[in-house]
Structure 1
Amino acid sequence: MTPSEIGPAARALAHGECQAIADAFERTPEVHEAVHRARKTIRRLRALLALLESSALVTAAADAALRRLGDGLSALRDAHVVVETCARLASAQPDQLWEAVCIRLTARREAVLARVLARDPAFARRQAALLRIVTDLQAQPWDSLRGGDIRKGLARSERRTQKAEKRATRSHDADDLHRWRRRVRRLRMQLEALPQLAPSRSVPIKGPGQSKHARALHALSDQLGWQQDLRMVRNLVRVMPGVPERRALIEQIDADMRDRRLIQT
């Protein structure tokens, strides 16, 4: 791909991600899955913009607006994630008393959804915010993009990921682990975007020739994510009143976290 093709390719990719976010905001019966799709697509678009930080594009305002858009959906997404995590824990240990906890977490999720929709019916405010982001991005000088911009962005992302890993390894802190996960996920998304931006700097992400680096990042992101999901359920179970066999449930979570631990103490 020549330098003159990189800009239009990046613009098309950004436009497609914006359209996918808009589609997710068109409410469906599967609203929780729609919110998941919206947040995932927001992360992909932010990863793309971060990849272009060294370019002539001025995307700080759009990135900040996307961050607010994603953060505004986090409570709803987290409420759904703990329900899914509870169901996985229940299926792994059917003899444990997870049913009552799962029922209460499901009721909590629906209460969170009701509050969100009461403040923003049909996600109208969020759709208006997305339209402003689209307008901002459309005005950017996409044709000025060059391969060097992408190479610099990727190198910066790799350095940030390595720095976050070192910090998490030293501290074992939950916030540092979460930061490491975000860095890993962003770098993976950037690698996945490369074939559409600069094929000469990329390798296949899927299929028999799949990049080992991309696969490793995907696996690491999944493991860090599961650790975080377990931690959220544990925190809720620990303070939930009237939970039968609370200690046994927490011990099951702790055992799972120890088995999957990436950083040994």
Structure 2
Amino acid sequence: MGKSATPSTLAGDLPVAAVHVLPMPSPGPALRDYARGELEAALDALAQTGDDLHEGVHRARKGLRRVRATLALGDGILGPGVGLVDREIKHLNTGLSLLRDAHALVETLARLHKRSRKGATRELLAQARADAVVAREATAGAEVSMDPAMGQRRGLIEVLAAALPALDWERLTPSAARMALADSDERSQRARGIALGKGGDSDWHRWRRRARRASQQRRALEAVGVAVPATAPEVFDKRTTERLGEAQDLTLLLDHCGKGSPFSKTERQALRAYAEPALARLRKRITTARR
């Protein structure tokens, strides 16, 4: 009986077919559709009228930020048009900030009133909220008179939605998208370190903004099926998120105690006396917890 051929003998006698590793499909087209969906949602949100307008503006601005975060995943890859689209979305979002800030102040005062236990403080916050409601309605009236039914803004969103397919989404690879997310995480961590190192108001705001951008990018990639690492708990856990939100409430209130404030001089003094030490205590708790 002859010897059976060994695998090595066969490998030497027979030609071996080359193994081609197919590249992973680009997540770009799916991200394009995701971004377009967010623009369409913003378009619908800005169609709200009356009291619903304020919540619509909030939803629209959130959607516009998600689109910018998605575009940033392909920075330098999607082609020269991405800069123009991003700038227009940023300009549009900034243009909605007066409306959003006016409504956010009302919401903030309601939350602070709910959390407060002192009678005098609750009375102060209730009066401040009433003043903020009057200021919000005045702001809404002025904005709607300049752009009835948000027609100009909604028209711009339609143009931007139509421009998205012209970007070079096919060039965006899964690895490039993950690298962009890693860069966002790194920027968030650097901002965190600066804020916790006795940073000022702008440093704390930068940390919150950059952490939000990274979270939005992670959300977009997960929505289109790209596997990404979870956020490290020590970077931005749920409790830290809640405390930063509370700190943002106090910062927003203090921002409205200066020029152009809807509050009287006496109210501004009382609100600062309440908010400044509360913000200092809260930031100290965040800093101590994250060390």
C-alpha displacement at 1:27, in angstroms?
Answer: 2.0
**Contact kept in structure 1, 2:77 and 2:168, CA below 8 Å:** no
Establish whether residue 191 from structure 1 lines up as the match of residue 233 from structure 2.
Answer: no
C-alpha displacement at 1:245, in angstroms?
Answer: 9.6
User: Closer, same or farther in 2 for the Cα pair 1:178/1:156, shift >3 Å?
Assistant: same
- Indicate which of 4, 7, 27 corresponds to 2:48: 27
**Deviations for 1:18-75, whole angstroms, at most 9, x for unmatched residues?**
1111111112331110000001111111111111214234411111111111111111
Aligned with 1:55: secondary structure? coil
Name the structure 1 match of 2:119: 95
- Indicate which of 99, 104, 115 corresponds to 1:81: 104
User: Closer, same or farther in 2 for the Cα pair 1:69/1:88, shift >3 Å?
Assistant: same
CA distance in 2, matches of 1:44, 1:157: 14
C-alpha displacement at 1:213, in angstroms?
Answer: 4.2
Establish whether residue 254 from structure 1 lines up as the match of residue 276 from structure 2.
Answer: yes
- Indicate which of 29, 37, 61 corresponds to 1:39: 61
Name stretches of at least 5 consecutive residues in structure 2 with no aligned partner.
Answer: 1-22
CA distance in 1, matches of 2:170, 2:100: 36
**Contact kept in structure 2, 1:185 and 1:217, CA below 8 Å:** no
C-alpha displacement at 1:169, in angstroms?
Answer: 3.2
CA distance in 2, matches of 1:213, 1:151: 19
CA distance in 1, matches of 2:216, 2:169: 20
Q: Aligned AA for 1:19?
A: E
Q: Aligned AA for 2:248?
A: Q
Q: Aligned AA for 1:50?
A: A
C-alpha displacement at 1:246, in angstroms?
Answer: 4.6
User: Closer, same or farther in 2 for the Cα pair 1:4/1:109, shift >3 Å?
Assistant: same
Aligned positions of 1:1-265 closer than 5 A: 3-4=24-25, 6-29=27-50, 30-58=52-80, 59-91=82-114, 92-93=116-117, 95-96=119-120, 97-98=123-124, 99-170=126-197, 172-202=199-229, 213=233, 216=236, 219-237=239-257, 240-241=263-264, 243=266, 246-247=269-270, 249-261=271-283, 262-263=286-287
C-alpha displacement at 1:135, in angstroms?
Answer: 2.2
C-alpha displacement at 1:218, in angstroms?
Answer: 5.5
Of the structure 1 ranges 234-243 and 107-116, higher mean CA displacement relative to structure 2 is found in 234-243
Aligned with 2:119: secondary structure? coil
Percent identity, aligned pairs only, is 31
Name stretches of at least 5 consecutive residues in structure 1 with no aligned partner.
Answer: 204-210
CA distance in 2, matches of 1:213, 1:68: 33
**Contact kept in structure 1, 2:105 and 2:132, CA below 8 Å:** yes
**Which one has the largest radius of gyration?**
2
CA distance in 2, matches of 1:54, 1:243: 52
Query: TM-score scaled by structure 1?
Result: 0.85
**Contact kept in structure 2, 1:188 and 1:218, CA below 8 Å:** no
Alignment RMSD: 2.6
C-alpha displacement at 1:232, in angstroms?
Answer: 2.4
CA distance in 1, matches of 2:79, 2:133: 43
CA distance in 2, matches of 1:54, 1:85: 38
CA distance in 2, matches of 1:55, 1:80: 37
